[in-house]
A and B are shown apart, each in its own frame.
Chain A
């Protein structure tokens, strides 16, 4: 791990952060609390990429590599080399625990071989590198020989930049206030060349959280041919914070465990079930014919597919009945988007409106049941499901919705029972794999590893017998085996699965976990770096 901090950089950061910074141990040790979130001097031999350290992108002609030719301190820095017109980009993208309050201190040194060429660096939050709250908080760039920062949604010129001269940047970001102090020092110049206080953050958004950083060339224009260097990246909080210890190279949680937690979180939250046919939303043949003639069919298709946010404008040419159906469908889609975003109350209002506009639409009612479950209104949810039971008898989405409600309220036994009752149903149903998948995850959450593995194995065999790809279910067998503690069997099934989905990044990182458990660190690294990249000289 590259968490050794060069003394000069540590002192600079400590001045900005807390005067006692040096007294704190670096984060990462078991149980350690430290204000230091990230510290890379790039001098260590082994720098592990991963979801809790950083990721290297270098898909085309550009590169990100360690170099000892030029460095600010120690004996190495990182060189980012961008090639214009190659259709890709090099990037060093790093991660740290989310900070939503207090101050964040960032310290780094940069040097460009040609300041006329563009490079960008940023601190951002959960909304990634977008100009929005929780997106980019701090953004600095070089262009046409000048260094700029992006404040209040506009680039502001800071200082002319000289080639092959190090610039050391210190940012003290007040997250709650949404502004930062910025100091830039130029190599060989005694006083700071930039010293600004209380600069508005990039999107002018107080309370914009941060959890990642990025060093990149241009931001998509593919016109930059910059070569620049980064050294001594240190990020710290204004108080000691707890961080989980690293359990394996580059990660504080095994990939399989993170995947399991994500699945549990995502699948426990009710979301809309898909519309398969327009009839699900109440459209009959007459309405469909009219909509087709009016040219609105593409819009209806987009609504059914959930691909677009649509407006109700322009429906005036339709008959009143068709207008109601279209408005109901649009409202249903808005509700689905709200439910997915975790706004269950808003979703329920959309679904209720959709139901009142199209009383014959069964999916609107079923979706209302799911929104009620998301609001923990279990009795109301059960009642809504019961109300559509006769209309949707035999429709696997009814069972799926019942199981989702069961999972949401933590009644895994009931969910398992409902799903098991469906297993004997029509195996050719397009919904059968989805039901099996739900059963599989319910079994995982009940820690019924053996039964989960058996179900996945049966599904894999069934897929093979049909001549379909068994890769996903083979992966599931591996998941259950790994979570059940048998890394050796997991390896066998993951490798089988890999043959059917050789490009799967998820499978690659799961294999990295398996090899870590089995003690093969070379293969652990190979699979991890296939996804997160590597940083080498």
Chain B
């Protein structure tokens, strides 16, 4: 049943490999040397996990003191650990609009695995709909599809509402990735075709909205 989370992830770029590990250069004086040893040059996920849930806050401190290349590695590590952490969320959110491609992708993927706050969903949906770079839009959608592991049913309903709203986006790519997220999350498309004429799309969107009403009524 754990495959519920893992087996569909191959649709998007799977976060199997860490970004190129940064050389242990210019270590900040305050950084925990032992912690850095578990990150560079190779991330030792199980050893980090063995430090307990508090490791997420330790990593957040290190993240805030690191350069972009190292931050990408730490973001990847947050993803692998999947620990809910307000500190991790705070530092990752600061980079959720970075222009650094490697860092941006790692941050977008990691956010849903450290937090289920509404502003995380808003940030990812914002990137999915409004980022200038279609790659970032696409990968924000991937994150919404696969990596929101801490959401409650109420929070899922909120995400679905926003995604259903994105089905009306004027940009074809946004409509296309929004329905893909909904399909991965629910297994259904309800006949929505992002390329169909607007009236036909609207008919399907209304079906989605009725479904969402029922979803909320069940909560």
Tell me whether A91 and B187 are in contact in the complex, defined as CB-CB below 8 angstroms, given that A220-B149, A295-B101, A299-B135 are known contacts.
no
C-alpha spacing A129/B2, complex, angstroms: 7
Interface bracket on A: 35 or more
Inter-chain contact B134/A311, CB cutoff 8 Å: yes
Within 8 A of A (CB), among B162-219: 173, 183-188, 211, 214-215, 218
In whole angstroms, how far apart are the Cα atoms of A120 and B133 in the complex? Answer: 39
CB of B7 within 8 A of CB of A128, answer: yes
Taking the complex as formed, is A216 at the interface, i.e. its CB lies under 8 A from any CB of chain B?
Answer: yes
A97 to chain B, nearest CB (A): 19
* Interface residue ranges of A349-393 to B (CB < 8 Å): none
B23 beta carbon closer than 8 Å to chain A: no
* B11 located at the interface, meaning its Cβ lies under 8 Å from any Cβ of chain A in the complex: yes
- 8 additional A-B pairs beyond A130-B8, A153-B187, beta carbons within 8 Å, are A57-B2, A93-B1, A129-B2, A131-B185, A132-B187, A153-B185, A219-B4, A221-B150
Query: What is the bound-complex CA distance between A122 and B4, given in angstroms?
Result: 11
Interface contact A120-B1, CB-CB below 8 Å: yes
- Which stretch from A162-170, A197-205, A235-243, A474-482 is at the chain B interface? A197-205
Chain B residue contacts of A221, Cβ below 8 A? 149-150
User: Which segment of A98-106, A302-310, A322-330 sits at the interface?
Assistant: A302-310
Partner-A contacts on B (CB < 8 A)? 1-5, 7-8, 11-14, 49, 53, 82, 101-102, 133-135, 138, 149-150, 153, 173, 183-188, 211, 214-215, 218
Give the complex CA separation of A87 and B45 in angstroms: 11
Partner of A157, one of B187, B215, B218: B218
Instruction: Tell whether, in the assembled complex, residue B135 and residue A314 are in contact, meaning their CB atoms are under 8 Å apart.
Output: yes
Do A133 and B149 have beta carbons less than 8 Å apart? no
Asked if residues B4 and A91 are in contact (CB atoms below 8 Å), the reply is no
Q: How far is the CA of A153 from the CA of B204 in the complex (A)?
A: 16
Q: Of residues 148 to 193 in A, which have CB atoms within 8 Å of B's CB atoms?
A: 152-157
**Chain A residues whose CB sits within 8 angstroms of the CB of B188 once the complex forms:** 153, 203-205
Mask for A133-157, Cβ within 8 A of B = 1, else 0?
Answer: 1011000000000000000111111
* A206 vs B100: C-alpha distance when bound (angstroms): 44
| C-alpha gap A313/B150 in the complex (Å) | 32
Contact of A130 among B3, B13, B149, B218 (CB under 8 A): B3
The residues of A that contact B11 with a CB separation of less than 8 Å are: 309
* Min C-beta distance of B109 to chain A, whole Å: 12
A382 nearest CB across to chain B (Å): 33
Residue A430 is within 8 A (CB to CB) of chain B in the complex: no
CB-contact partner of A204 in B1, B2, B134, B187, under 8 A: B187
Q: Residue A154 contacts which of B4, B135, B184, B215 (CB distance < 8 angstroms)? A: B215
Q: In the complex, what residues of A have CB within 8 A of residue B2's CB?
A: 57, 89, 91, 129, 216, 219-220
Taken together as a complex, chains A and B put the C-alpha atoms of A132 and B184 apart, in Å, by 8
How far is it, in angstroms, between the C-alpha of A308 and the C-alpha of B153 when the chains are bound? 30
The answer on a CB contact under 8 Å between B149 and A129 is no
Q: How far, in whole Å, are A309 and B138 apart by their CA atoms in the complex?
A: 10
9 residue pairs, one from A and one from B, having the closest CB atoms: A203-B187, A131-B187, A153-B186, A308-B13, A313-B134, A214-B1, A129-B4, A216-B1, A128-B3
The distance from the CB of B12 to the nearest CB of chain A, in whole angstroms, is: 7
| A441 → chain B closest CB, angstroms | 25
Chain A nearest CB, measured from B176 CB (Å): 9
Least CB distance, A47 to chain B, in whole angstroms = 20
- The reply to whether A130 and B7 form a contact with Cβ atoms under 8 Å apart is yes
- In the complex, the answer to whether B173 meets A220 with C-beta atoms within 8 Å is no
A425 within 8 A of B: no
Q: Does A222 contact B (CB under 8 A)?
A: yes
- Chain A's nearest CB lies how many Å from the CB of B10? 10
A467 within 8 A of B: no
In the complex, are the beta carbons of B153 and A87 less than 8 A apart? no
B7 and A129 within 8 A (CB): yes
Q: Is the CB of A311 within 8 A of B4?
A: no
Residue A298 interfacial (CB < 8 Å) = yes
